[in-house]
Amino acid sequence: MSIKQISVFLENRPGKLKEMTSVLAAKHIDMRALSIAETKDFGIARLVVDDAYAAINILKEADFVANLTSVLAVAIPDEPGGLDKLLGIFAEASVNIEYMYAFIGGKDVKHAYMIFRVADTKAAEARLAGRGLSIMTQEDIAGI
């Protein structure tokens, strides 16, 4: 039930992020979530999009260095304490989080969506099963 995240390596210079978004926009790829981590010389843009396989091919054809990674996407109530409760479930299940980011939007304004990168996605899914979480699929993300 994991989803695919695209990681794109970008030179840390003006306009590189715009180049990437222009390529995606021209092909009607809809970004659901975006996170950027940077160092002095380069950045990593992490994207969740409506069609990950089309997007990765489009980016590679445009000479971007990009790869796909499995991540967990979890819907949580958009209310105070929603994230804290979710993190408690991860802690109880002994699932370590490498990084995370969030997005809101879509038709369901009562939920936020958390993206989690963990060391072993399949093992984390097994540990989190039956704990009342709403783990999203790639199809769910495309429909938001």
- Let me know if domain 71-142 sits in CATH 3.40.50.9100: no
Q: Please list, residue by residue across 37-52, b when 16 or more beta carbons sit within 10 angstroms of its beta carbon and e when fewer do.
A: eeeeeebebbbbbbbb
Mean pLDDT per 10-residue interval, the chain, length 144 residues: 94 93 97 90 93 97 97 90 92 94 76 92 88 88 82
Angle between the N-to-C axes of helices 52-61 and 16-26, in degrees from 0 to 180, rounded to the nearest 10? 120
The DSSP code for 79 is S
Which among 111, 120, 119 is positioned nearest to 140, based on CA atoms?
111
Return the pLDDT at 128.
Answer: 87
Return the pLDDT at 107.
Answer: 66
Coil, helix or strand at residue 103: strand
Judge whether 102 and 68 are in contact, CB under 8 Å.
Answer: no
Q: 3-70, what's its fold?
A: VC0802-like (3.30.2130)
pTM of the model: 0.88
For the chain, give every domain's residue range.
3-70, 71-142
- Please provide residue 5's backbone torsions phi and psi, each rounded to the nearest 5 degrees: -110, 140
